[in-house]
Amino acid sequence: MTVHPALSIGAIEGGPGSSQEWLDAVVGIGKQIMGVVEGTTSPLAVNVVYQIPGRYLEPEFEGVRSGTFSRKESFLVVQVALPMKPVANASDEVFAFLRDAVAVAEDFAYQEGMIEGELADVRELLDRL
């Protein structure tokens, strides 16, 4: 069984026309998370994957939704479909979407009977960013 970090970030870039602002913001928050995640445990490991639109990728949805789940590994992918361009500060928007993604993961984990309230350790990570 693979051991996943309590919180991780990924990105799918849509190729030409993708926003460099989005990519820089996602990479930046990913580096921040890597700096604080070590030693943190959670009943559900959450991987937030940002979809950055471009010529080869146009997300099929808007906002945040749950994705692939492995009960065996207690691992959930949460997908974030970004608009073409940031409205304001890309880093602030990426962080806001991250908070939304954690809320989606909490709802999912609650529905699956994995937690009673929130993913406290993952929330603590967000507070450290």
In a domain, 70, yes or no: yes
- The predicted structure's pLDDT at residue 116: 86
- Mean pLDDT value across the chain: 94
Each residue's pLDDT tens digit, 34-90: 999 999 999 999 999 999 999 999 999 989 999 999 999 999 999 999 999 999 999
In a domain, 62, yes or no: yes
Asked if residues 75 and 45 have their Cβ atoms less than 8 Å apart, the reply is yes
Asked if residues 69 and 75 have their Cβ atoms less than 8 Å apart, the reply is yes
In a domain, 47, yes or no: yes
Tokens of 116: 């009673």
Confidence of residue 120 (pLDDT cuts 50, 70, 90): very high
- The predicted structure's pLDDT at residue 3: 78
Number of domains in the chain: 1
In a domain, 1, yes or no: no
In a domain, 86, yes or no: yes
**Model-level pTM?**
0.94
Asked if residues 105 and 76 have their Cβ atoms less than 8 Å apart, the reply is yes
In a domain, 11, yes or no: no
Between 2 and 55, the higher pLDDT residue: 55
Strands 45-52 and 7-13: what pairing?
Answer: parallel
In a domain, 2, yes or no: no
Residues in contact with 72: Cβ distance below 8 Å, sequence separation at least 6, in sequence order: 1
In a domain, 10, yes or no: no
Could you tell me the residue range of the domain that residue 124 belongs to?
Answer: 16-128
Tokens of 111: 């529905």
